[in-house]
């Protein structure tokens, strides 16, 4: 009898880290341009920067816009078309011209070097594979001018095992209640990987009008591990602080780690 190969069926699993329409709408309400406390931190760190700056995973422009308004030359990329559309709307409303492209961390490409590359609000953690993360660090290195800087924020290790549900609500301009409920569904201590299911809901007149599921996958790096990985990617002058407070060393209560590294000048 002939041997019949089994038919492989791809499971119907949502694409992780998609940042779709409802996610973008809530992001805009929760983090409007210029609202987070990292804005003055980055403005201070970029004083005197000559040449173009790249913001990776630019999102809705919540950091890009204040940087442009400060007179800095900033470009950005993001993999989410919904996020990019929101960013363009915000820029247009302020009379700003933004150079944006749709791309992923793994495949962004420019034909010129940058004086600085920014990866704020721990978006680098969304690269949930160790080898891909190392490759992206090398990609950052190769897109920097000699002496250029990488400024990158990461969630600390404590976030990996946090099982507390995230439930929050907002009110849209038309009176709809927007709600998110995020729950951890996978915590892999060996791979340092965490997966959450974030359910976005729109409630109107007491009825559920719309819902959207976002699967979010993160890799959580150890502090020394990430320093060694930056060095392996070719960076030097590696420093780390915490919570966007200059001079504050990382500690047990740190909510975010702020790394800075340089591509050697020669």
DSSP track, 186-208:
EEETTTTEEEEEEEEEEEETTEE
Cα 138 to the center of its chain, rounded Å: 17
Whether residue 145 sits in one domain with residue 39:
yes
Q: Which domain, by its residues, includes 199?
A: 159-218
Q: What is the pLDDT of residues 89-141, one digit of tens each?
A: 999 999 999 999 999 999 999 999 999 999 999 999 999 999 999 999 999 99
* Between residues 128 and 34, the one the model is more confident about: 128
Whether residue 39 sits in one domain with residue 102:
yes
CATH code where residue 110 lies: 3.40.50.150
Count of beta carbons in the 10 Å neighbourhood of residue 248? 12
Indicate whether 77 belongs to any domain: yes
CB 246 within 8 A of CB 260: no
Whether residue 25 sits in one domain with residue 62:
yes
pLDDT of residue 238: 98
Indicate whether 14 belongs to any domain: no
CB 45 within 8 A of CB 63: no
Indicate whether 16 belongs to any domain: no
pLDDT of residue 17: 77
Whether residue 235 sits in one domain with residue 175:
no
Indicate whether 95 belongs to any domain: yes
Indicate whether 191 belongs to any domain: yes
Indicate whether 13 belongs to any domain: no
The two structure tokens encoding residue 161: 């095992």
CB 87 within 8 A of CB 76: yes
Q: What is the pLDDT of residues 216-260, one digit of tens each?
A: 999 999 999 999 999 999 999 999 999 999 899 999 999 999 999
Number of independent structural domains in the chain: 2
Arithmetic mean of pLDDT over the chain: 92
Q: What is the pLDDT of residues 35-79, one digit of tens each?
A: 888 999 999 999 989 999 999 999 999 999 999 999 999 999 999
Indicate whether 1 belongs to any domain: no
Indicate whether 9 belongs to any domain: no
């Amino acid at each position: 009898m002939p041997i019949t190969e089994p038919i492989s069926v791809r499971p119907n699993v949502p694409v992780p880290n998609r940042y779709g329409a409802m996610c973008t709408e809530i992001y805009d309400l929760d983090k409007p341009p210029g609202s987070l406390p990292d804005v003055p931190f980055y403005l201070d760190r970029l004083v005197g920067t000559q040449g173009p700056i790249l913001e990776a995973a630019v999102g809705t422009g919540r950091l890009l816009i204040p940087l442009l308004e400060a007179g800095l030359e900033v470009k950005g990329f993001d993999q989410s078309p919904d996020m990019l559309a929101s960013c363009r709307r915000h820029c247009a409303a302020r009379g700003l011209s933004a150079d944006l492209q749709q791309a992923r961390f793994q495949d962004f490409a420019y034909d010129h070097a940058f004086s600085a590359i920014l990866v704020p609000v721990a978006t680098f953690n969304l690269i949930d594979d160790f080898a891909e993360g190392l490759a992206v660090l090398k990609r950052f290195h190769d897109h920097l001018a000699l002496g250029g800087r990488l400024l990158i924020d990461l969630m600390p290790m404590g976030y990996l095992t946090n099982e507390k549900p995230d439930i929050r609500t907002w009110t849209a301009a038309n009176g709809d209640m927007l709600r998110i409920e995020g729950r951890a569904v996978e915590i892999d201590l060996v791979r340092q990987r965490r997966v959450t299911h974030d359910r976005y809901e729109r409630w109107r007149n007491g009825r559920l009008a719309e819902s959207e599921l976002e699967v979010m996958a993160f890799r959580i790096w150890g502090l020394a591990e990430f320093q060694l990985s930056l060095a392996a990617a070719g960076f030097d002058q590696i420093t780390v602080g915490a919570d966007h407070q200059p001079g504050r060393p990382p500690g047990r209560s740190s909510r975010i780690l702020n790394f800075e590294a340089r591509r050697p000048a020669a």
